[in-house]
Amino acid sequence: MNIEDIRKELQQILGAKRFQHSLSTAEMAVLLSKRHGVSPEKAELAAILHDCAKGYSIHEMREQIEIYQVELDEVERKEPGLWHAPLSAIMARVRFNVHDEDILQAIQIHSTGDQGMSVLDKIIYVSDYIEYHRKHLKVEDIRELAPYNLNLAVLMTINIKITYLLEQEVLIHPRSIVARNDLLAQGVKK
Ligand SMILES: [Fe+2]
Ligand SMILES: [Fe+2]
């Protein structure tokens, strides 16, 4: 499936707002990929598909998880907000015929982060947060920083997301903590 066909299909299965978010995330990911020496084609594909399962309701997601036998860990099982990332990776493989493991991994961990993130993983993680339609906290600072210091951009994004989850009193996936520890242990700081 070429990128044009993927775009058309996504437009059908995602609402207008999510489709726009996917396109904008891809635009940001391509920009960052050129700055950080990653294949722009891979970045575009991973970014455009990163939320491809997000058009489903929770009920439908639960069905898809059954059908595709998506393995969820204990925290993921309890937190529906975490379902769309692993499900999007499975859909990218079976529905959109993507078999590049680098791309699938970047989709899989785009909402939590993980230990030992690749440059592509980091680009997708950050692009999702700072694409041009986003108006989150500190988004402009991170947008300015990301082309120059991707690691710090990831750390700042993780910090903001974890702070938000703490305030919401929802579960925090251990992968987010591990990802943050990993960056700090590497000496990433402001
Ligand atoms: Fe997402
Ligand atoms: Fe997203």
pLDDT digits (tens, 9 = 90+) for 142-159: 999 999 999 999 999 999
The phi, psi pair for 4, rounded to 5°, reads -65, -45
pLDDT digits (tens, 9 = 90+) for 68-116: 999 999 999 999 999 999 999 999 999 999 999 999 999 999 999 999 9
pLDDT digits (tens, 9 = 90+) for 18-70: 999 999 999 999 999 999 999 999 999 999 999 999 999 999 999 999 999 99
Cα Rg for the chain, rounded, in angstroms? 16
Total number of domains constituting the chain = 1
Q: Could you tell me the residue range of the domain that residue 28 belongs to?
A: 3-185
User: Residue 89 maps to which CATH number?
Assistant: 1.10.3210.10
Q: Kindly state whether residue 37 falls inside one of the protein's structural domains.
A: yes
**How remote is the CA of residue 111 from the centroid of ligand 1, in Å?**
5
**How remote is the CA of residue 56 from the centroid of ligand 1, in Å?**
12
Q: Kindly state whether residue 91 falls inside one of the protein's structural domains.
A: yes
Q: Kindly state whether residue 104 falls inside one of the protein's structural domains.
A: yes
Q: Kindly state whether residue 53 falls inside one of the protein's structural domains.
A: yes
pLDDT at 167: 97
Q: Kindly state whether residue 119 falls inside one of the protein's structural domains.
A: yes
Angle (CA) 164-22-85 rounded to 5° is 55
**How remote is the CA of residue 44 from the centroid of ligand 2, in Å?**
13
pLDDT at 190: 85
pLDDT at 39: 98
Q: Kindly state whether residue 7 falls inside one of the protein's structural domains.
A: yes
**How remote is the CA of residue 88 from the centroid of ligand 1, in Å?**
9
Virtual torsion, Cα 176, 32, 29, 71, nearest 10 deg? -30
| pTM assigned to the model | 0.97
Q: Kindly state whether residue 190 falls inside one of the protein's structural domains.
A: no
Q: Kindly state whether residue 95 falls inside one of the protein's structural domains.
A: yes
Neighbour tally for 130: CB within 10 Å: 24
Reduce the DSSP state of residue 88 to 3 states and report it. helix
Q: Which residues of 11-20 are buried (b: 16+ CB within 10 A; e: fewer)?
A: eeebeeebbe
